[in-house]
Amino acid sequence: MLAVAGLREGPVQVEHGHGPPYGTGLLRRHTVSLGNPPGESPAGEGVERYVSISPGIPFSVLDRSRTREGSDAPQALRDTVRFAQEIEALGYHRFWVSEHHGVPGVAGSAPTVLAAAVAAATSTVRVGTGGVMLPNHRPLVVAEQFGVLESLFPGRVDMGLGRSVGFTDGVRKALGRDKEDADHFPGQIEELLGYFSGTPGTGPRVRARPAEGLRPPPFVLATGKGAAVAARVGLPLVIAAVRGEDAMLRAVADYRRDFRPSAWGERPYVMLSGTIAVAATTEEARRLLLPEAWSAAWSRTHGEFPPLLPVETVLATPMTDRERSLFEESRRGHLYGTPDEVAESLGKLLARSEADEYLVTTSTYDLDAQLDSYRRLAGLLGLSG
């Protein structure tokens, strides 16, 4: 439930006033209900407890097109498109795709191309990138790509931007980039947005067509330094608790304090990002986390993200002490459990952070179990397609 003293039957509300992007100033309310559906017997008399949370904020989804043992990358991309259709039907607000290069466990390497496929296969859900790693590209080309997307799917396209530069030295070399290129991220954002406004700044007076005059909303993806960049350029912030929840909340507070209003954002907008796994039992929800936790541990000891493995394979895989430690570490900080448990932990996080939106990033080996988790979460949130 929410950050209140004690749980009780009926709704609990917490209000706060950070509005959605670009300053509509909507006052939002989180409401949690704990009890039974109308007409049902009290909890404990043979019926499942009824729990719901009406957060008053949008919930969205990021899918990285994870590959899975026994399947290939093309299938992962097709799975992403089908998953987007399911997510739209469940009533989520956005569906974003990612950019990773040379990663065996991730098929999503061309986010604007994949976003076009997702947008063509859906009709109402917003579609975007989570994100385009801007230091890997020329801002002019990115502006042109999003101009095409916004022209074909007007009013549905989001432009999520990150500052990462390749996962390995080999990938960075192939891209013609190095780690220091991430330092150019603020200037690249300004150049990119200039192409949409028709004022690209210094350099050749090139006009980005068909981007000029269009307004796909930009977002800055961050784990650390990116939050300061988002505040400086006046853009919405997408942030995950990669360095722990306390560090994330400090970054959010700094972002709100230092935010400079811009033509793209009148006030701060914070989208939290993280894993939420919901299942019938706590143990089932915990098991959903294991394939991704193992993949993360493997990446930190072998230098690459592998395809996701079945839970049984993960549990039977021998691990060194370091791998075991990283595996356990990778399982921490996620929201998981039964609907009751997730409602409590999610409500507390929303109250602490006063987030404007939540981007769910859950992935696991079993696609049916993954979709079931998102379906249970949608029910918990009261979403409707």
Q: Is residue 323 part of a domain?
A: no
The per-residue pLDDT for 201 is 67
Q: Is residue 300 part of a domain?
A: no
Q: Is residue 301 part of a domain?
A: no
Q: Is residue 313 part of a domain?
A: no
The per-residue pLDDT for 52 is 56
The per-residue pLDDT for 244 is 87
Counting other chains too, the contacts that 226-231 makes at CB distance below 8 Å and 24 or more residues apart are 226/162, 226/163, 226/185, 227/251, 227/252, 227/254, 227/255, 228/254, 228/255, 228/258, 229/163, 229/185, 229/186, 229/189, 230/255, 230/259, 231/255, 231/256, 231/257, 231/258, 231/259, 231/260, 231/268
Structure tokens that stand for 251 in this block = 């970054």
The per-residue pLDDT for 17 is 32
The per-residue pLDDT for 123 is 98
Q: Is residue 237 part of a domain?
A: yes
Q: Is residue 81 part of a domain?
A: yes
Give the residues of the chain that fall short of pLDDT 70: 1-55, 165-170, 172-173, 175-182, 201-204, 385
* Rounded CA separation 221/237 (Å): 6
The per-residue pLDDT for 184 is 80
Q: Is residue 208 part of a domain?
A: yes
Q: Is residue 12 part of a domain?
A: no
The per-residue pLDDT for 43 is 41
With a CB cutoff of 8 Å and minimum separation 6, the contacts of 129 are: 96, 97, 98, 99, 111, 112, 115, 158, 159, 160, 161
pLDDT in tens, 352-380: 999 999 999 999 999 999 999 999 999 99
Domains identified in the chain, total number: 1
The per-residue pLDDT for 306 is 92
Q: What range defines the domain where residue 187 resides?
A: 58-277+350-381
pLDDT in tens, 228-272: 999 999 999 999 988 889 999 999 999 999 999 999 999 999 999
| Sequence-ordered alpha helix ranges (H) in 122-237 | 139-152, 169-175, 185-197, 225-233
Q: Residue 130 maps to which CATH number?
A: 3.20.20.30
